[in-house]
Amino acid sequence: MAMEISFPGGKKVDAHFKGFTIKTDQSEKDGGEGSAPTPPFLFFASLGTCAGIYALEFCEKRKLDTEKLKLEFELKPHKKTGMIEKIRMKLTLPPDFPEKYKPAIIKAIDLCYVKKHLHEPPEFETITQSAD
């Protein structure tokens, strides 16, 4: 499985994977055009959408209404480093959501593939090669 990263100009950096192009850019204050999300934004968005799909699938399997289902992320940065030190996921359930399923939907969200990578991070290796 390989992903190619390209540099289309300015502060833009794109990822190409399985026929998709995921575009990123830096904010104007950081020298970019603000034309696309920043990489950290995409990282947290991938975590949120991954958790969201697990919540959605949980409800769909039980034929539960998802119209008012909503997942919000609160990102709490460290005061000195600016690194996110806490992520609070707040799940809003539809009014008729069965009480008996509340602990189970939380467990379902905890199965998120992206979140699991934070608990067991992969090994990183960076190598160089010369262009042809």
pLDDT in tens, 13-29: 999 999 999 999 999 99
29 falls within a domain? yes
Task: Write the secondary structure of the chain as one string of H (helix), E (strand) and C (coil).
Answer: CCCEEEEEECCEEEEEECCEEEEECCCHHHCCCCCCCCHHHHHHHHHHHHHHHHHHHHHHHCCCCCCCCEEEEEEEECCCCCCEEEEEEEEECCCCCCHHHHHHHHHHHCCCHHHHHHHCCCCCCCCCCCCC
106 falls within a domain? yes
* pLDDT tens, residue by residue, 71-107: 999 999 999 999 999 999 999 999 999 999 999 999 9
pTM across the whole model: 0.87
Per the structure, the complete domain to which residue 7 belongs is given by: 1-37
Q: Are residues 84 and 113 in the same domain?
A: yes
| Domains: count for the chain | 2
Q: Are residues 63 and 53 in the same domain?
A: yes
